[in-house]
Amino acid sequence: MQTRIEVGILGATGMVGQHFIKFLQGHPWFDLKWLGASDRSAGKKYRDAMTWHLGVVPETVADLTVDDCKPGNAPRLLFSAMDASVATEIERAFAQAGHVVVSNSRNHRMEQDVPLLVPEINADHLKLVPGQQRARGWKGQIVTNPNCSTIVLTMGLAPMKQFGIRRLICTTLQAISGAGYPGVASMDIVGNVIPFIGGEEEKMQQETQKIMGEFRGDHIEPLAAKVSAHCNRVAVVDGHTVTVSVEFSSKPSEADLRHAIDSFTAVPQERALPSAPPRPVIYMEEANRPQPRKDAERERGMAAFVGRLRACPALDYKFIALGHNTVRGAAGAAVLNAELMHSEGMLD
């Protein structure tokens, strides 16, 4: 039996931090021992430092004393749920001090030497890390996971990458939990659609090209495809839905695409990583699936669900994809990234 690795969370009192705590309960490899937050929370018991929104506060963390988000007492492996307004300097300070920072924050995602990781798609992008450490003089490192809507899109596209993605247009129907707490005012979202989420379309377009790009020694060559995104907030609690139209260079048949989806597996499944779903992309035959309420929670929220694959009169094919935005799109994504890193010997 392997020794469990002590881990900590930066930004532990916020909604993403709470999702990290919930997801890490009972983890076979990682033992949550340290919680970091802002000055106003530091020194308090965790149960007194925040308002818990996910049921009952786990007893494993309720009486932990919250620390400052400063290097010193934290374990080497840290999951970052820091708000973007403060994440840059804090994450860099910990990496400089020798910590492995696996971040859900957007701040470092598009930096040339930082992996933007979806283990089923681009595990080889971890090869950027030694160059990152040399260039920045860091003993530690920063690895990021994508935006919550980008991960649903790229997981849905992953089995199809082999056919040469040339152009894609996607429209999101994003859950309110993606806006954090308190999020969107009820008078704005109930019975309504908000057709704007600040920065979201740009993130989806740029991150997709980086994630699905190729490792070229010291950088990632972005996917050459043109990506157009429309992002909308809808009155759904959990689960981001994305409708996608895509054009391919090799003109596969519908049967080719279905076979690619149904047979898709990758490094996390081959290595049986603890948080990896047995099938990362699951095709649903029903004409009215996937649906957030029925499907987002399945497979512990770690799989992507695809349906309605059919010919597209404007491009080649169109389909719908769904994923759990706070699990596969946030906390679960970062934990799976750390599991992959451990399997590569990067946490030794």
Give catalytic residue positions. Answer: 148, 240
43: left (phi over 0), alpha (psi -120 to 50) or beta: left
332-343 helix and 15-24 helix, angle to the nearest 10 degrees: 50
> Omega of the bond prior to 277 within 30 degrees of 0, cis?
no
Rounded-to-integer distance, Cα 101 and Cα 143, Å: 6
CA nearest to 339, candidates 28, 3, 121:
28
DSSP 314: S
Task: Count the helices and strands in the chain (H runs, E runs).
Answer: 13, 15
SS3 215: strand
Partner residues linked to 9 by β-bridges: 35, 79
Rounded-to-integer distance, Cα 328 and Cα 336, Å: 9
Which residue's entry shows tokens 């595990």? 123
The answer to whether the CB of 75 falls within 8 A of the CB of 6 is yes
**Integer angstrom CA distances of residue 32 from 45, 63, 117, 128, 284:** 15, 13, 22, 27, 36
Q: Which amino acid is at 337?
A: N
**Which stretches of the chain are DSSP H helices?**
15-24, 46-49, 59-62, 84-96, 119-122, 129-136, 148-157, 186-189, 200-211, 254-262, 267-270, 292-295, 332-343
Rounded-to-integer distance, Cα 206 and Cα 298, Å: 29
